[in-house]
């Protein structure tokens, strides 16, 4: 699936899920050891900070633009596995204002979606490597955002059930 379509599909679900909650519900801890729905959204917002990668130095790739997607999907769509978040995308413990959270998310989502539609997705992003995988193409970075969002949409759905 093209990354623009899958990213839009998953972020539409994310924004719909978040919009059903009021600010207190967003910030309510559903069970011990869990992030709040707002923290999950903040984590995704932080993980969407890829503008510097997409707009940064790029090189031609000697492999298919989607070559790492099977590995990315295997990792992020394995819902039985739990992973520790890298420190730079760990959400805040602060109470999160719904209006600002939604606005910030929508801005980053809009940038990534536009990039997916307009940029050459076959190019390798050379500003930073993905942990354990190396440099990713623009296609793979946006594909990661889609898979990561799908993973956390499930988490938010589980929070809403509790």
Q: Which domain holds residue 26?
A: 3-82+93-161
Q: What pLDDT digit, counting tens, does each position of 51-92 carry?
A: 999 999 999 999 999 999 999 999 999 999 999 999 999 999
The CATH number assigned to the domain holding 101 equals 1.20.120.450
What kind and span of H or E run contains 58?
strand 58-59
Residue that has been written with the tokens 């490597």 in this structure: 129
Taking the model in full, what pTM does it have?
A: 0.96
Token digits for 88? Answer: 């730079």
CA dihedral 150, 8, 159, 72 (to 10 degrees): 20
Whether 103 is in a domain gets the answer yes
Token digits for 131? Answer: 């942990």
Total domains present in the chain: 1
Residue that has been written with the tokens 């070559």 in this structure: 67
**Phi, psi dihedrals of residue 22, rounded to the nearest 5°:** -85, 175
Whether 13 is in a domain gets the answer yes
Whether 58 is in a domain gets the answer yes
Helix, coil or strand: residue 134:
strand
Whether 100 is in a domain gets the answer yes
Q: What pLDDT digit, counting tens, does each position of 19-58 carry?
A: 999 999 999 999 888 999 999 999 999 999 999 999 999 9
Whether 87 is in a domain gets the answer no
Whether 88 is in a domain gets the answer no
Whether 138 is in a domain gets the answer yes
């Amino acid at each position: 699936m093209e990354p623009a379509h899958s990213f839009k599909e998953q972020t539409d679900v994310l924004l719909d899920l978040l919009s059903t909650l009021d600010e207190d519900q967003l910030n309510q801890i559903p069970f011990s050891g869990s992030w709040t729905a707002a923290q999950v959204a903040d984590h995704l917002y932080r993980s969407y900070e890829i503008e510097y990668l997409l707009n940064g130095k790029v090189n031609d790739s000697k492999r298919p633009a989607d070559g790492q997607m099977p590995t990315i999907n295997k990792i992020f769509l394995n819902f039985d596995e739990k992973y520790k978040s890298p420190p730079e995308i760990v959400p805040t413990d602060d109470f999160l204002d719904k209006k600002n959270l939604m606005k910030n998310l929508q801005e980053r989502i809009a940038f990534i979606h536009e990039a997916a539609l307009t940029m050459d997705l076959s190019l390798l992003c050379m500003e930073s490597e993905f942990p354990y995988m190396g440099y990713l193409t623009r296609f793979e970075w946006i594909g990661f955002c889609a898979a990561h969002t799908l993973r956390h949409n499930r988490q938010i759905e589980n929070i809403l059930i509790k």
